[in-house]
Amino acid sequence: MFNTDESGRSFMPFGLYDEGEYSWDHVTLGIFVPWWLVSIEVDLDGDGTWRQTQMLKHVQQIVSLESESNVTLRRVQQISPHFENNHGWEMIDVKKIVLCNNGNNIAKEPVEFIQYELTNGEIITIPEDITSIENVIKIIYSFE
């Protein structure tokens, strides 16, 4: 699909895009860790709204987006490698993302963490070594 120049660098053949067009008409994903496809709506201070879809690497970036006063999370999906047949990827809707803590640890300081639930029923905690949830501090995203 790509041509290679004398130095071995790949480039897109001319025929894949129209004259004056600066984007590709398709992309092939080859990912090995989960990514996040996040659709947001941004309020433009009374001048309407703007919708955008972003591909993010860490769930913590979704928490940061949600904390912006003019941003509303519209849809969150996890894109992950398809482990059953070792090729391709799958996209799963996220049901809920919450910011939590586990009360007091040995140092008497609460430890904050993120937990999310996928629509396939899988529940993941970041970091993974957290075993108990005592307080939900904030619901970051909920798709019901």
pTM of the model: 0.69
- pLDDT one-digit tens code per residue, 46-87: 888 999 999 998 889 999 999 999 999 999 999 887 666 566
Instruction: Report the chain's terminal Cα–Cα distance, integer Å.
Output: 41
Return the pLDDT at 125.
87
- Length of the chain in terms of residues written: 144
- pLDDT one-digit tens code per residue, 110-134: 678 899 999 999 988 888 777 667 7
Cα–Cα distance between 65 and 82 in angstroms, integer?
A: 27
Cα–Cα distance between 113 and 98 in angstroms, integer?
A: 9
Strand ranges in 22-134 using DSSP code E only, listed in sequence order: 35-43, 49-56, 71-81, 89-104, 110-118, 123-126
Percent of the chain's residues with pLDDT above 90: 35
